[in-house]
A and B are shown apart, each in its own frame.
Chain A
Amino acid sequence: MKKFLIPLVLFGVLVLFLAVGLKRDPHEIPSPLINKAAPDFSLQTLTGTAPFSPQDLKGKVWMLNVWATWCVSCREEHPVLVAFSKQIGVPIVGLSYKEIQPQDDPEKKLSPEALLKLARSRGSVWLERHGNPYTLSVMDLDGRVGIDYGVYGVPETYIIDKNGVIRYKQIGPVTPQTLSETIIPIIKGLENS
């Protein structure tokens, strides 16, 4: 009798694992940058003020949010950021990521200056229309900084601590829930440490 129960028992164990597996996301790969120093850069800002570098915010907790006007999910995320910017309470730096897409300039006629000008005007119009949660935005036109930060989809959000170390990364839009349950508590914790 007992040996005929073996298949049932094995199946039970299998279902258990499948049920646990259902709650996991196999695509979720922990970022190797967590607890590593945030890669340094120096980029032009959206408004044309002096170039920004993460060094400028040393000693402060801050948030880096990757966005673009062509990004559909950003439109979903943006109002949330605007509404929560006060509660977040730390500088939010926008990284305008690859604003100019290949199809905008298929023959590659535009000069780098013209590209920057086009990106700035597009970004400004967009922020005017949808609200501006950012302390400032920097222009990552060629996406090099995005590569350093391991961006593989827009939007993405990073939290960087007082020592310039990345403490948290979120892929995809932040929601009121992730903000109030995860991001804001992490920021508060880092500020108090």
Chain B
Amino acid sequence: MPAPLDGHDLNPLLQDPGLVIHPPMLYMGYVGMSVAFAFAIAALITGRLDSAWSRWSRPWTVIAWSFLTLGIGLGSWWAYYELGWGGWWFWDPVENASLMPWLVSTALIHSLMVTEKRGGFKAWTVLLAIAAFSLSLLGTFLVRSGVLTSVHAFASDPTRGVFVLCFLAVVVGSSLTLFAWRAPQVTLGGSMGLLSRETFLLLNSVLLSVATAAVLLGTLYPLVIDALNLGKLSVGPPYFNLVFAPLMVPLLFILIPGTVAKWRSASLPDMVNHLKWIAIFSVVLGACLPFLLGEWSIGAFIGWTLGLWVGLGTLQHIFERALKPGRIGGSFWGMQFAHLGLAIVVMGVTGVKSFEVEKDVKMSVGDEVTIAPYVFKLNDITEVTGPNYKAFQAQIDVVKSGEIIEQLKPEKRRYLSSAMPMTEAAISTNLWRDLYVSLGDPLPGDLHQWSMRVYYKPFVPWLWVGVLIMVLGGVLAAFDRRYRRVSSSGPLQTVAQAVSSLNAQAPSLKDQFFSDQVGNSAHNLSTVQDQNPDITSEHNSSLNENSSPNLNSSGAH
């Protein structure tokens, strides 16, 4: 094969600093899931699905989740400003590939809490840990093998696909076999009432798992249909929006009751009493806001109500906790920030979906287009030369009540070596809205008339702010001193037992699965335990409820 005439450059879409940040964050998220996975497998092998296992898994899962959240958020942001299409989520297979582990790990974080505090959901938690990592591997496969058409398939190769698929089959196949073999021996947790925090967390798991399944189905449907020789098709945003939104509505609704419900058994009248004011306030404000911001619609009403419900419920929780004495741990702040971030994202999504204005226009120099209260005036289109591209650059003044508030310079680039055209959007942003202009093409035979897209996108910055707050929450929770400081930490006996038995049984396993830090603190544990046998009351009760936190060990040892 003759050599190409010229090199091809990096794909122009990737010639952006985003490439340096977004993939490593996603990678950390994917690979981070391997820690939770390794803990789960080790716990299955040793038969110790106990609260020590869930305590150790939690910070690692949460930190991986934080990276994944950040990675997805960055990807969305990058696509938004780089692709020039004005969207921030496309339900592309590769996006879905990152969303699925995110949904499952979110469920895992919540399920781990029940396993730690109440010894319940053990088999389910293990399955979620396996699923989170498996879906990360599946993501790798989908992105790298080229089995699905995606805007992200920058380097796909079926040969590599064979390798990744074999790896996937071996790793996931063997862990699910192990699961099928060991999970039947898992003991059940403490009893739980029909109305209790456990119930809400169970619902959380169910809804998130169903959402994952729906996304998985939509993502793989074209592949399945093709494999069955039933034709070629693609599944687009309408399907995903249709199935995903109805699942998120109950999830957001149960979030707040879930955070205030008591373990084991909660009282409905108490909870109603506790939450009635924010409920009323959310509904009233949720019904009014769409009027104030534009047009009333049922979608906007539901979205704002749920966003306010989650946000205000979280703030109320923080306020109540702050009034009580005692140090507030990182876990508490972590949870509240993550939920607050989610509330902001929900409001951002609702805001942009309900009130965005898009105009596709034809403009010549001197023309104006109005999206009230903004007037976009095209002053000039000039040719500019970049390091490896030539571009047409438009100068657009954004005028609001007679004053120029911003100058936007969208570009249409043509990269020299690959001859690929690229749209470089120009965005003016503040806390409440983005003004987004991207340059289309010149009309045939005339370089002075251009097609142009002018967008008014309210609340888009809320998406990015919300994601960052969620990530902050994850980091705060992962670094809670409770997980590392021995003197103030949980069921010491269990931890010490688990570590010593792991040491005795499989020293190599321990080296492989646990960092030095955990190993060291485990050594400290036994000494501390001698000196400081009194355990905080909260943990004491959890120990009592869960007096035999391990598997019944007959089959295990």
Question: Which residues of the other chain, B, contact A83 by a CB distance below 8 angstroms?
Answer: none
Q: How far is the CA of A148 from the CA of B131 in the complex (A)?
A: 49
B158 interface contact, C-beta 8 A: yes
> What is the minimal beta-carbon distance from B138 to any residue of chain A, in angstroms?
8
Closest residue of chain A to B168 (Cβ to Cβ) is A15
Contact B165 A22, beta carbon cutoff 8 Å: yes
Contact B183 A17, beta carbon cutoff 8 Å: no
Q: Pick the contact of B161 from A1, A5, A22 — CB < 8 Å?
A: A22
Contact B147 A18, beta carbon cutoff 8 Å: yes
Q: How far is the CA of A21 from the CA of B226 in the complex (A)?
A: 7
B194 interface contact, C-beta 8 A: no
Q: A20-B227, A22-B147 are in contact. Are A30 and B123 (CB under 8 A)?
A: no
Question: Which residues of the other chain, A, contact B141 by a CB distance below 8 angstroms?
Answer: 18
Interface 9-mer from A6-14, A113-121, A163-171: A6-14
Question: Which residues of the other chain, B, contact A15 by a CB distance below 8 angstroms?
Answer: 165, 168-169, 173
Contact B168 A21, beta carbon cutoff 8 Å: no
Task: Kindly identify, within residues 383 to 408 of chain B, every residue whose CB is under 8 Å from any CB belonging to chain A.
Answer: none
Q: How far is the CA of A11 from the CA of B223 in the complex (A)?
A: 15
Question: Which residues of the other chain, A, contact B266 by a CB distance below 8 angstroms?
Answer: none
Q: A21-B147, A26-B148, A75-B2 are in contact. Are A8 and B173 (CB under 8 A)?
A: yes
B146 interface contact, C-beta 8 A: yes
Q: How far is the CA of A21 from the CA of B225 in the complex (A)?
A: 10
B162 interface contact, C-beta 8 A: yes
Q: A18-B147, A26-B147, A26-B148 are in contact. Are A72 and B2 (CB under 8 A)?
A: yes
A50 interface contact, C-beta 8 A: no
Indicate with 1 or 0, residue by residue over A62-93, a CB within 8 angstroms of chain B CB atoms. Answer: 00000000001001100000000000000000
B214 interface contact, C-beta 8 A: no
Closest residue of chain B to A30 (Cβ to Cβ) is B232
Contact B184 A11, beta carbon cutoff 8 Å: no
A-B contacts, CB under 8 A, total: 74
Q: How far is the CA of A7 from the CA of B183 in the complex (A)?
A: 12
Interface residue SS majority, chain A = helix
Interface 9-mer from B174-182, B369-377, B427-435: B174-182
Q: A7-B127, A30-B232 are in contact. Are A22 and B173 (CB under 8 A)?
A: no
Question: Which residues of the other chain, A, contact B179 by a CB distance below 8 angstroms?
Answer: 4, 7-8
Question: Which residues of the other chain, B, contact A26 by a CB distance below 8 angstroms?
Answer: 146-149, 222-223, 226, 232
Contact B226 A24, beta carbon cutoff 8 Å: yes
Contact B165 A7, beta carbon cutoff 8 Å: no
Q: How far is the CA of A19 from the CA of B333 in the complex (A)?
A: 45
Task: Kindly identify, within residues 43 to 82 of chain B, every residue whose CB is under 8 Å from any CB belonging to chain A.
Answer: none
Q: How far is the CA of A12 from the CA of B220 in the complex (A)?
A: 15
A147 interface contact, C-beta 8 A: no
Question: Which residues of the other chain, A, contact B145 by a CB distance below 8 angstroms?
Answer: 22
Q: How far is the CA of A30 from the CA of B233 in the complex (A)?
A: 12
Q: Pick the contact of A7 from B5, B176, B184 — CB < 8 Å?
A: B176
Question: Which residues of the other chain, B, contact A25 by a CB distance below 8 angstroms?
Answer: 146
Question: Which residues of the other chain, A, contact B232 by a CB distance below 8 angstroms?
Answer: 26, 29-30
Contact A4 B183, beta carbon cutoff 8 Å: yes
Q: How far is the CA of A131 from the CA of B69 in the complex (A)?
A: 58
Q: How far is the CA of A28 from the CA of B116 in the complex (A)?
A: 50
Question: Which residues of the other chain, B, contact A75 by a CB distance below 8 angstroms?
Answer: 2
Closest residue of chain B to A24 (Cβ to Cβ) is B226
Q: How far is the CA of A26 from the CA of B232 in the complex (A)?
A: 8
B1 interface contact, C-beta 8 A: yes
Contact B176 A1, beta carbon cutoff 8 Å: no
Q: How far is the CA of A12 from the CA of B226 in the complex (A)?
A: 18
Q: How far is the CA of A20 from the CA of B549 in the complex (A)?
A: 44
Q: How far is the CA of A14 from the CA of B162 in the complex (A)?
A: 14
Choose among B131, B222, B227, B232 the residue with the greatest number of A CB atoms under 10 Å from its CB: B227
Q: A7-B127, A8-B180, A26-B149 are in contact. Are A21 and B2 (CB under 8 A)?
A: no
> What is the minimal beta-carbon distance from B524 to any residue of chain A, in angstroms?
37
Task: Kindly identify, within residues 219 to 249 of chain B, every residue whose CB is under 8 Å from any CB belonging to chain A.
Answer: 220, 222-224, 226-227, 232
A27 interface contact, C-beta 8 A: yes
Q: How far is the CA of A76 from the CA of B224 in the complex (A)?
A: 35
Contact B147 A24, beta carbon cutoff 8 Å: yes
Q: Pick the contact of A17 from B4, B172, B227 — CB < 8 Å?
A: B227
Question: Which residues of the other chain, A, contact B130 by a CB distance below 8 angstroms?
Answer: 7
Q: How far is the CA of A123 from the CA of B172 in the complex (A)?
A: 56
Contact B149 A27, beta carbon cutoff 8 Å: yes
Question: Which residues of the other chain, A, contact B183 by a CB distance below 8 angstroms?
Answer: 4
Closest residue of chain A to B176 (Cβ to Cβ) is A8
Q: Pick the contact of A72 from B4, B148, B223 — CB < 8 Å?
A: B4
Indicate with 1 or 0, residue by residue over B491-530, a CB within 8 angstroms of chain A CB atoms. Answer: 0000000000000000000000000000000000000000
Question: Which residues of the other chain, A, contact B184 by a CB distance below 8 angstroms?
Answer: 1, 4
> What is the minimal beta-carbon distance from B448 to any residue of chain A, in angstroms?
15
Contact B1 A22, beta carbon cutoff 8 Å: no
Question: Which residues of the other chain, B, contact A24 by a CB distance below 8 angstroms?
Answer: 147, 223, 226-227
- 13 pairs across A/B with beta carbons < 8 Å? A7-B131, A8-B179, A17-B220, A21-B147, A21-B148, A22-B147, A24-B226, A26-B223, A26-B232, A72-B2, A72-B5, A76-B1, A76-B2
Q: Could you list which residues of chain B lie within 8 angstroms of chain A, going by C-beta atoms?
A: 1-2, 4-5, 123, 127, 130-131, 134, 141, 145-149, 158, 161-162, 165, 168-169, 172-173, 176-177, 179-180, 183-184, 220, 222-224, 226-227, 232
What are the 9 tightest A-B residue pairs by CB atom distance, in nearest-first order?
A20-B227, A8-B176, A21-B223, A21-B147, A26-B149, A4-B180, A4-B183, A5-B180, A1-B184
Q: A18-B165, A26-B149, A29-B232 are in contact. List 17 more A-B contacts (CB 8 A).
A: A8-B176, A8-B180, A11-B173, A11-B176, A15-B168, A17-B224, A18-B141, A22-B147, A22-B158, A22-B161, A24-B223, A24-B226, A26-B232, A72-B2, A72-B5, A75-B2, A76-B1
